[in-house]
Amino acid sequence: MLWECVSILAFAGISVILILEVFRRPKNFPPGPSRIWSTMAQFKKNPLGALMLCKEKYGPVVGLKIGEFRVVILNDPADITKAFGNKSLNSRPPFLPAMIYVGGENHGTLTSSDEVWKAVRNCMVKSMGSLHTSPINGEASLTLSHDMEPLKELLERLSNPVSKEKLSLAELRSKLYIPIANHVWHVLTGEEIPEENKAGLQQQLVALQKALWQPISSPVWFLPTSAKRLPSTRTLLQEIKKAVDPLHAMVEEMVQETQKNGDDDSKTFSQAFLRGCRSYPCLRGYEAVHLKGAFFTLWHTAAETVGNLMAWTILWLSLYPEVQRKLAQELGQTDILDLMSLPYARAVIQEVLRLSSTAPFANFHWSVEDYKLGNGMVIPKGTVVIGNLFGVHHDPSVWPDVEVFRPERFLENEGGEENRAKVLLPFSAGLRTCPGQNFARNFILYALSQVLKDFQFSWDPQQARPTPEEIMDKSLVSIFRFVPDFKIVVRKREE
Ligand SMILES: *[C@@H]1O[C@H](CO)[C@@H](O)[C@H](O)[C@H]1NC(C)=O
């Protein structure tokens, strides 16, 4: 009797929940898995695989719930480009780690929207000057070469024939922190980070890496602000804050220095930025806060993402020795400083960006008002919007031999860079595209030209080559997709 009651009650309860779920879907919300048959478990195990499944099952636009957030996934590159170019979707979700990362709401471009965002973005892009266009040469290349010494020493040691040790891709990534951080700092401020501070900075960057890049399924991302009070979430958030504080202090000091010295000559990024702020009434009184936010985001994101991309590049080159040989030859034949003018090298970078898809979700957008899609569906205000860039770059109907690393697909005589470029969106699309993308490409080619001169990288012949599934399983997927920590064999280049 009791059992019957319990099961009837349970049945009634489940039906009510189901009915509520059906009615909770906003009108014209795109189709997708309902919360009851939650994709959460799948998403936790393999977030990129879950996105691919959703795309297969529900088509170009998918609506669902992840944690407490309503989410729409855009799978079609044309939809992504159009949507992210519209100001209705031009904001970022209120993810707690992002707020702590940049210092709060309305700090720089990351946590601002509307008019303020537009003004800050304008100041930022105008003040970036050489950073987002010019190749690395002259004085900059000398200091960079100096900062890369520890990496070269490591490679030297590992390439010794008696050494049985291999190169960890995670270590490669962290060895690049200082060269990149110092280089960007130098370009932005005109000054270098003092030699004696570099070791401490290296440790802080590693600490932040550990605290910040929680898997994308971690509650810190998809929980509402009120969940700050949960003890486990609070601990994670406090760790991020502890790790980011010393880096903020460093930037803060630089900002104060700039304010003290005045911005009359606009020679550096910071001077130009402060000066630029004066043209926008909406920024008045908040110049220092925005400079701090914009500077920190540019500087830290560069150190994180460019090092990661370089490590991915070494992974692909070690798996494809023929590509490595051709690339080393092209880079070695020229002393042109504008490495981006080399066709094969350019194609290699494009293919690295496609296969690695290091910003697989287009860094998440947020709708500040309802947005109507071409097919009549609606993304309601307050929705997280994912541009499924991983899916765009791994669509077998667009890319033949989709999992094969083949830079030739980007060469003119192989069917056209023009066509392919349309669907390659590694730095996202629309209003919030990454302003540092040429910097990233230039830096990686520069770093490659430095290491491929003397060393070659190969997959350990004792180990089976990783399958695409293994590469997927072993890469940490957070806001960015980080290189799996495979171990690579390093040898001296003989040629
Ligand atoms: C942006 O989206 C809104 C809402 O869907 C629409 O009314 C508006 O026309 C779009 N703007 C542009 C420039 O396409």
3-state secondary structure of 246: helix
Residue 414 in this model has a pLDDT that exceeds 70 = no
Instruction: Give the nearest ligand 1 atom to 82 CA.
Output: 14
Mean pLDDT within 314-340: 89
Mutate to test the pocket of ligand 1, among 61, 81, 84, 88 (most ligand atoms within 8 A of CB): 88
Residue 88 in this model has a pLDDT that exceeds 90 = yes
For residue 182, report the distance from its CA to the centre of ligand 1, in Å: 41
Q: Give me the chain's average pLDDT, please.
A: 89
For residue 87, report the distance from its CA to the centre of ligand 1, in Å: 8
CB pairs under 8 A, 24+ apart, for 251-256? 251/292, 251/295, 251/296, 251/299, 252/292, 254/189, 254/295, 255/288, 255/291, 255/292, 255/295, 256/288
- Could you give the CA distance from residue 313 to residue 316 in angstroms, rounded to a whole number? 5
Element (H, E) at 452: helix 437-452
Residue nearest to atom 4 of ligand 1 (CA): 371
Residue 226 in this model has a pLDDT that exceeds 60 = yes
Instruction: Give the nearest ligand 1 atom to 371 CA.
Output: 5
Residue nearest to atom 2 of ligand 1 (CA): 371
Closest C-alpha among 193, 175, 194 to residue 183: 193
| pLDDT score of 21 | 54
- Could you give the CA distance from residue 369 to residue 392 in angstroms, rounded to a whole number? 26
The answer, yes or no, to whether any atom of ligand 1 lies below 6 A from the CB of 86, is yes
Sequence length of the chain is 495
User: Please, which residues bridge with residue 481 across strands?
Assistant: 477
Question: For the segment 228-238, what is each residue's pLDDT rounded down to a tens digit?
Answer: 778 888 999 99
The answer, yes or no, to whether any atom of ligand 1 lies below 6 A from the CB of 28, is no
- Could you give the CA distance from residue 299 to residue 235 in angstroms, rounded to a whole number? 26
The answer, yes or no, to whether any atom of ligand 1 lies below 6 A from the CB of 371, is yes
| pLDDT score of 172 | 97
Classified by CATH at the fold level, domain 2-492 comes out as: Cytochrome p450 (1.10.630)
Mean pLDDT within 438-452: 90
331 versus 13: the higher-pLDDT residue is 331
Domain boundaries, the chain: 2-492
For residue 72, report the distance from its CA to the centre of ligand 1, in Å: 17
The answer, yes or no, to whether any atom of ligand 1 lies below 6 A from the CB of 259, is no
Q: For residue 312, with 0-12 CB atoms within 10 Å meaning exposed, 13-18 middle and 19 or more buried, which class applies?
A: buried
Residue 434 annotated as binding? yes
- Could you give the CA distance from residue 290 to residue 292 in angstroms, rounded to a whole number? 5
Mean pLDDT within 465-493: 96
Instruction: Give the nearest ligand 1 atom to 87 CA.
Output: 1
Mean pLDDT within 354-363: 96
User: Please, which residues bridge with residue 469 across strands?
Assistant: none
Q: In which band, very low, low, confident or very high, does the pLDDT at 359 lie, cut at 50, 70 and 90? A: very high
Sign of CA pseudo-dihedral 52, 57, 63, 68: negative
For residue 86, report the distance from its CA to the centre of ligand 1, in Å: 6
First to last CA, the chain: 84
Mean pLDDT within 380-405: 95
Question: For the segment 172-182, what is each residue's pLDDT rounded down to a tens digit?
Answer: 999 999 999 99
| pLDDT score of 131 | 62
Residue 17 in this model has a pLDDT that exceeds 90 = no
